[in-house]
Structures are given as C-alpha cells and as structure tokens.
C-alpha cells in the first residue's frame, strides 16, 4: 500500500491517539519519522524490495502461498487442518538463544547480573556490519503492530522490519497488524523500533534455503532508545520481536518509567457457581503448565474459566486503586508436545485450523502429530526434520520445543471481551514453580510486600535429576529471569512501588502455588490440571473472607477442611504431606535466597531483606 493512501485516509483513531510519550527518547514521530527510519534500514540492509504490510486477508493469503512455493511452508491437508501449515526450521534454530540475548543499557548496572550486558556503542559497531547488506536478494517487510487493542489506554505500538515472511505471518497472528496502527503513528503516537534479519543475503539468482538463518546470532535490546535488533534466527521467540523482546524486555523498562508492569503471566477469568467473576494472573517458569492453567477446565461442578491470555500480561494501577490487566498479544505461540485431549482439550480444539505449526511431525494423511497429542503414536510419520519415523526408533517425532501459532479468537473458551482495551481488574496473582519438596500446594502472602518477596524467590527444578534437591534449583524470580529488561533488583523495587499505588483493600491478593510436590514415595501428591480449580476455589473464598487462613512461618495456609477434595484420590496423609513445612530445609532455602539477593550487590530493596529476616525468625521459632 502506498503511504500516500495512508496520509489521505481520515485520521479517526489518530485524533484520539493517547498522549503517552516516551519522554525525551529519540523516537521517530509521525509518518515522516517512520519513513525516514525505514529508508535508513533499507540503505543499511539493501533489500531487493520493500513491502509495507497492511494486514489484509489477501496479503496474508499471498504471503502463505509464496512460502509454500518457496518450500518454507508445507500446506496441511485441508480436510483435517484447514488453512494450516507446517514449517521445519533449520535444526540449529529451534529455541530462544539466551546466551546471545543482550541488554545494551548505557550503564552495566542497569542491566544487572541476570542479563548479558553490552555497551550500546560497542554492540552497535558489532552488529551494524552484520546488518549491512544482510537483506540482499530478499524482500524487506515493514510491519506496524499494536500490542493491546489499537489506541487502547494500556496499548503500545511498534514497527518490525524483517526479511522473514514466516516472521510476518506469525506477527499477523500474535499482534494487531496494519494500517490502523499507521494512523496512530501518523497521529503522533510513540512507537518502538524493531529490526530483524535472518542474516542470509542472496546472490543474484540464488534460491533461498527453506529456513534461512545464520550461525551467528544477536538479539539486542536498547532500553534507552527503545529499539530491538535481532540477527541470525528465524525462531519465533527471536523473530517475533513484539513478543518476548518488546512486550516483556522493552515493555518492562517502559513500565518502570511509566508506572506499570510487563509480566510473564497468563490471565484468566474464573466464574464461580453463583456467577461471581474473578480475574487471576499467574506467573510460572516454562514447563510448569501455564497454557494448561490458562485454558483450565474445572473439575468442580458449576465453575468455569474463560481464557484471557496465556503468556504475557501488562498490569497498570487504575484510578480506582485496583490493578488492571490486559493481554497485549492476539494469539498463542505455544509448545505442542504435551498438549493433548486429556491434558488440554481446549488447546487441541483451538488448533482445528488456521494454524502455523513449526517442527511438529507430519502424518501420511497430511495432518500433524506430536508427542502427547494422542496416547499412542501413529505407526509412521515424517519427523520434524523431514525424515521417516516409526515409534520403534525411540526418539521424539516432534521437536520438544515444537510450536503452534494460532489466533486467540479461535480458543473455544476465550472470554468474549478478551481484547477489551481497558482490560480487567485483578483479584489474585499467583506465583508458581515446579517443586518436588518444601513448597506447599498453596500459600497466601500476608500482604503485598510479602507477595513481592514470594515472587522474588520463585525457583523451579532444573531437571528430573535435580528434583527434590534444594541446591539444584534454578532461580526464576517472577518467571521473568530471561525477560526483565533492566536490573532485577530494581524490578523488585518497582513491584513494591506499584503496591503503594493500589488501595490496600483493592490490591490483588498474592499466592504461591505448587502443583508438583511429590510424596516420600516419589509420586505426585496432587492430580493437577482441572483439579487445580480446587485451589482457585480456596483462593477465592479467602478473597471473599469466607474462610480463615492459618498463619505459618512461610505464609497463610488453608485449613484441611477448606480445600475441596471430594471425589479425588487425595488422602488425608497426602494432604499432610502437601502442606508439610520442614523448618530445617526452609532455613537452607533462606540461605540460598540470601546468596541470590547478594548477587545484586546491595540493590535488593530493604523491605525484601526484612522479609527474609522475618522468615528466618519465624522458622527458628517454628
Ligand atoms: C515462551 C517462553 O516461548 O517462555 O513462551 O519461552
Ligand atoms: Mn513464555
């Protein structure tokens, strides 16, 4: 679409563009700023063509058709999976590359010890030559996108330049793309600059690989100038820059400066048998059942869950003293293996069609398969690398990090108002991890500061071998370890500040949950999945003041009689084990927390040290 067309369109949404500004940062303003930036990037990367993405259906159809012709996508059998495609990545380009992910803040201490820091000028002089000519022979796409409803009070805008049509098709699912966003920019709305190249220029006449990428990879964030530069990878987490790079790392910095929070959280509405509605956000490290909780099917009669988001939530204190949340995304980029009829029927139904699958296995009938989709594997498949596969081979057919990319609107239990610009007011925040020992099924924070302390100490077992051994835990505070764009100790302080903006009786209550505790016999003590609604039932009764919480050294616990375990195989002995608190191992855990806090060299806020001291005091007296 010609830019002239955009200029002549009525600037209806631009007229209502929010007055938010990114301070004195050197962001381009208006369409002149955007076109000047696009010209600069084109001069650097030297693409053959420039395509301004308008987000139309026709454009998307043409893009998908082109990718099938080029061998990037395989069209699935429309009889089983209409409008759906399979991509096979290069075997080396299958996941986020944390070791190649950088925060290039002016000062090293602003990135903090949990991030890879690079001096902005140094890393610019490293990556600029890589981007020079990197799009030769390819089309450069300009993709304007909005995180959150276009023009919404919590929404933010970005533009991604990319030479990957796969990235374009994915961004079109995961965000709101198109000319509405350009109109916002024309109206003066600030926007984040994101540049992506797979790093595989073509010689004249040379045909592209089906999955172009480069062995050298850089995912670089410039928090002061609100830019992302990603080089060498086509994988979603490195290539859909709106997601982890913008909506978490860069947005966390914008949130720090503007007074809100960008979080690695799912978002749901829980409706009780009386029709009362509650909103819950929950942060879990990967492989802890986040998507399953986002699409929970409660096993207790009369309860319902509506999905609002599965990965990212932006939280902002409202004038009413509540904490309001939106899911800034428009789709799900989920892990396929382990998603099946018995574990997440809703996700399976969501994937009925219009889905881009990456690195799953292909069935002879032109449909897809992955481990866990069905109990039994098909007799023969083509594996994620395109090789013949049978179950006897004893290796997975789908890559363990194979993915689906699908529109949120396709989820059968999506809330009708899931993309409302204002979002929803939160009643509870849950922090979870995978812990075989120590951490009870559920514990309630005594107040906001204690809740922040719980979030800051979240850890999860790294491997099966490590399960149960406290020393082998991976710290993942707020499940944000790889996603916080600034010093995590300052981030803890920012959480404390947000609490001060909330009305004490309207702030969401904070809970720590653990679905994964094991008994002394090594078996999971809690059935999980739909039965997690029983824990949410208790949480809601706590919020309503209908049941007392029992004070313990680590927070408030349920009375055994208040947790509804009717009809499930959880015995009284299991319940005792699920909630057992061993002061000695908790004191060891407190020592590890102290070690972790010390890595921040004096930056962890005093109230969290006070929480740690109080925890030790209570444990010593327990
Ligand atoms: C994701 C992740 O892809 O957390 O959502 O890595
Ligand atoms: Mn995630």
What value does the mean pLDDT take over residues 196-214?
Answer: 97
What value does the mean pLDDT take over residues 362-376?
Answer: 97
Nearest to 164 by CA among 335, 362, 356, 401: 356
pLDDT of residue 287: 74
Cα-to-centroid distance, 311 and ligand 2 (Å): 5
- Give 396's contacts (C-beta < 8 A, 6+ positions apart): 337, 371, 383
Largest CA distance in the chain: 76
Instruction: Encode pLDDT of 110-155 as tens digits.
Output: 999 999 999 999 999 999 999 999 999 999 999 999 999 999 999 9
CB 67 within 8 A of CB 208: no
pLDDT of residue 462: 64
CA–CA distance, 295 with 545 (Å, rounded to integer): 27
- ∠ CA 152-221-131, nearest 5°, is 115
- Give 261's contacts (C-beta < 8 A, 6+ positions apart): 252, 255, 314, 315, 316, 494, 495, 498
Cα-to-centroid distance, 604 and ligand 1 (Å): 26
Cα-to-centroid distance, 388 and ligand 1 (Å): 29
Instruction: Encode pLDDT of 337-361 as tens digits.
Output: 999 998 999 999 999 999 999 999 9
Nearest to 311 by CA among 298, 329, 296, 297: 329
CA–CA distance, 342 with 345 (Å, rounded to integer): 6
Q: How confident is the model at residue 289 (pLDDT cuts 50, 70, 90)?
A: confident
CB 146 within 8 A of CB 176: yes
CA–CA distance, 169 with 153 (Å, rounded to integer): 26
Residue 545: DSSP 8-state: T
CB 53 within 8 A of CB 170: no
Residue 24 has pLDDT above 50, yes or no: no
Residue 425 has pLDDT above 70, yes or no: yes
- Give 447's contacts (C-beta < 8 A, 6+ positions apart): none
The closest ligand to the CA of 332 turns out to be 1
Residue 185 has pLDDT above 90, yes or no: yes
CA–CA distance, 361 with 201 (Å, rounded to integer): 29
Ligand 1 pocket test: pick from 94, 95, 96 the residue with the most ligand atoms within 8 Å of its Cβ: 96
CB 510 within 8 A of CB 428: yes
Residue 81 has pLDDT above 80, yes or no: yes
Instruction: Encode pLDDT of 94-106 as tens digits.
Output: 999 999 999 999 9
- Could you identify the residue written with the tokens 């450069």? 140
Residue 4 has pLDDT above 60, yes or no: no
- Could you identify the residue written with the tokens 């290539």? 239
The closest ligand to the CA of 94 turns out to be 1
Cα-to-centroid distance, 331 and ligand 1 (Å): 13
Number of Cβ atoms within 10 Å of the Cβ of 367: 19
What is the H or E stretch that residue 63 is in?
A: helix 57-70
Ligand 1 pocket test: pick from 170, 219, 236, 237 the residue with the most ligand atoms within 8 Å of its Cβ: 237
What value does the mean pLDDT take over residues 398-414?
Answer: 97
pLDDT of residue 598: 98
- ∠ CA 227-231-235, nearest 5°, is 105
- Could you identify the residue written with the tokens 């980029």? 333
Q: Where are any strands of DSSP class E within 414-563?
A: 424-425, 428-432, 442-444, 459-461, 473-475, 509-513, 550-552, 555-557
Strand-pairing partners, residue 74, are 86
Ligand 1 environment, Cβ below 6 A: 96, 237, 286, 311
What is the H or E stretch that residue 190 is in?
A: none
Residue 565 has pLDDT above 50, yes or no: yes
CA–CA distance, 132 with 521 (Å, rounded to integer): 59
What length is written for the chain? 622
Ligand 1 pocket test: pick from 236, 286, 292 the residue with the most ligand atoms within 8 Å of its Cβ: 286
Residue 510 dihedral angles phi and psi, to the nearest 5°? -110, 135
What is the H or E stretch that residue 49 is in?
A: strand 49-52
The residue ranking higher by pLDDT, 614 or 462, is 614
For ligand 1, atom 3, name the residue with the nearest CA: 237
Residue from 213, 288, 411, 484 carrying the catalytic annotation: 288
CB 357 within 8 A of CB 77: no
Distances (CA, A) of 361 to 121, 166, 378, 526: 43, 18, 10, 32
Alpha helices in 270-410 (DSSP H): 290-294, 345-350
What value does the mean pLDDT take over residues 231-245?
Answer: 97
pLDDT of residue 611: 98
Residue 381 dihedral angles phi and psi, to the nearest 5°? -150, 170
pLDDT of residue 330: 98
Instruction: Encode pLDDT of 454-511 as tens digits.
Output: 999 999 986 433 333 544 678 999 999 999 999 999 999 999 999 999 999 999 999 9
CB 192 within 8 A of CB 156: yes
Least confident piece of the model among 4-8, 40-44, 524-528, 571-575 = 4-8
CA–CA distance, 556 with 581 (Å, rounded to integer): 12
Residue 23 has pLDDT above 60, yes or no: no
Q: What is the mean pLDDT of the chain?
A: 93
pLDDT of residue 461: 82
Cα-to-centroid distance, 237 and ligand 1 (Å): 7
Q: How confident is the model at residue 28 (pLDDT cuts 50, 70, 90)?
A: low
pLDDT of residue 15: 30
Residue 46 has pLDDT above 70, yes or no: yes
| Position in ligand 1 atom list of the atom nearest CA 237 | 3
CB 478 within 8 A of CB 456: yes
CA–CA distance, 263 with 280 (Å, rounded to integer): 13
| Position in ligand 1 atom list of the atom nearest CA 96 | 6
Residue 393 has pLDDT above 60, yes or no: yes
Structure tokens at 592: 């590890």
Residue 21 has pLDDT above 90, yes or no: no
Residue 564 dihedral angles phi and psi, to the nearest 5°? -75, 105
For ligand 1, atom 4, name the residue with the nearest CA: 286
| Position in ligand 1 atom list of the atom nearest CA 236 | 3
Residue 10 has pLDDT above 60, yes or no: no
Active site residue 288: yes
- Spell 498-515 as b/e; 16+ CB within 10 A means b: bbeebeeeebbbbbbbbb
CA–CA distance, 346 with 546 (Å, rounded to integer): 31
CA–CA distance, 351 with 402 (Å, rounded to integer): 14
- ∠ CA 214-217-221, nearest 5°, is 140
How would you write 138-184 as a 3-class SS string? CEEEEEEEEECCCCCCCCEEEEEEECCHHHHHHHHHHCEECHHHHHH
- Give 4's contacts (C-beta < 8 A, 6+ positions apart): none
Go through the domains of the chain in sequence order and give each one's CATH number.
3-70+97-259 (3.40.449.10), 263-330+420-580 (3.90.228.20), 331-410 (2.170.8.10)
CA–CA distance, 499 with 492 (Å, rounded to integer): 11
Residue 454 dihedral angles phi and psi, to the nearest 5°? -60, -45
pLDDT of residue 472: 67
């Amino acid at each position: 679409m010609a830019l002239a067309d955009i200029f002549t369109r009525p600037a209806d949404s631009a007229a209502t563009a929010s007055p938010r500004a990114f301070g004195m940062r050197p962001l381009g303003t208006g369409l002149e700023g955007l076109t000047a930036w696009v010209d600069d990037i084109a001069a650097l990367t030297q693409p053959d063509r420039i395509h301004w993405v308008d987000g139309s259906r026709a454009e998307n159809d043409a893009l998908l058709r082109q990718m099938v012709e080029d061998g990037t996508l395989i069209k699935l059998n429309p009889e089983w999976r209409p409008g759906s495609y399979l991509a096979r990545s290069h075997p080396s380009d299958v996941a986020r590359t944390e070791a190649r992910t950088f925060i290039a803040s002016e000062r090293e201490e602003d990135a903090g010890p949990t991030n890879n820091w690079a001096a902005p000028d140094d890393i610019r002089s490293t990556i600029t030559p890589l981007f020079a000519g990197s799009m030769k022979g390819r089309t450069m796409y300009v993709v304007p996108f909005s995180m959150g409803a276009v023009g919404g009070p919590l929404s933010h805008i970005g533009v991604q330049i990319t030479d990957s049509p796969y990235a374009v098709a994915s961004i079109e699912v995961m965000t709101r793309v198109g000319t509405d966003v350009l109109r916002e920019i024309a109206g003066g709305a600030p926007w984040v600059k994101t540049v992506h190249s797979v790093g595989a220029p073509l010689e004249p006449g040379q045909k592209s690989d089906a999955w172009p990428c480069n062995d050298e990879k850089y995912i670089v964030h410039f928090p002061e100038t609100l830019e992302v530069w990603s080089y060498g990878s086509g994988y979603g987490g490195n290539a859909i820059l709106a997601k982890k790079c913008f909506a978490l790392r860069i947005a966390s910095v914008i949130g720090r400066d503007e007074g809100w929070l960008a979080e690695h959280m799912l978002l749901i509405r829980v409706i009780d048998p009386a029709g009362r509605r509650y909103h819950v956000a929950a942060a879990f490290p990967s492989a802890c059942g986040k998507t399953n909780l986002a699409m929970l099917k409660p096993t207790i009669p009369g309860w319902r869950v509506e999905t609002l988001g599965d990965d990212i939530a932006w939280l902002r204190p409202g004038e009413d003293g509540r904490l309001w949340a939106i899911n800034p995304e428009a789709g799900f980029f989920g892990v396929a293996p382990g998603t099946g009829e018995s574990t997440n029927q809703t996700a399976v139904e969501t994937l009925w069609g219009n889905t881009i699958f990456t690195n799953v296995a292909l069935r002879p009938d032109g449909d897809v398969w992955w481990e866990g989709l069905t109990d039994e594997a098909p007799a023969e498949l083509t594996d994620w690398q395109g090789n013949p596969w049978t179950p006897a081979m004893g290796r997975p057919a789908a890559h363990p990090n194979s993915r689906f990319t699908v529109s949120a609107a396709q989820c059968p239990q999506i809330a009708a108002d899931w993309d409302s610009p204002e979002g929803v007011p939160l009643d509870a925040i849950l922090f979870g991890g995978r812990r075989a020992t120590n951490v009870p099924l559920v514990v309630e924070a005594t107040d906001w500061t204690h809740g922040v302390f719980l979030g800051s100490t979240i850890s999860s077992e790294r491997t099966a071998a490590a399960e149960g051994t406290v020393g082998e835990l991976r710290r993942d505070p707020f499940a944000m370890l790889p996603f916080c764009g600034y010093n995590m100790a300052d981030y803890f302080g920012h959480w404390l500040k947000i609490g001060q903006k909330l009305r004490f009786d309207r702030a969401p209550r904070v809970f720590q949950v653990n679905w994964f505790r094991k008994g002394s016999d090594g078996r999971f003590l809690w059935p999980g999945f739909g039965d997690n609604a029983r824990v949410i039932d208790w949480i809601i009764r706590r919020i309503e003041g209908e049941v007392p919480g029992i004070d313990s050294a680590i927070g408030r616990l349920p009375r055994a009689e208040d947790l509804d375990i009717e009809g499930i195989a959880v015995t009284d002995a299991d319940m005792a084990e699920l909630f057992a608190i061993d002061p000695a191992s908790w004191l060891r855990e407190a020592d590890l927390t102290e070690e972790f806090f010390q890595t921040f060299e004096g930056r962890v806020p005093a109230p969290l040290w006070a929480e740690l001291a109080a925890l030790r005091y209570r444990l010593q007296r327990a």
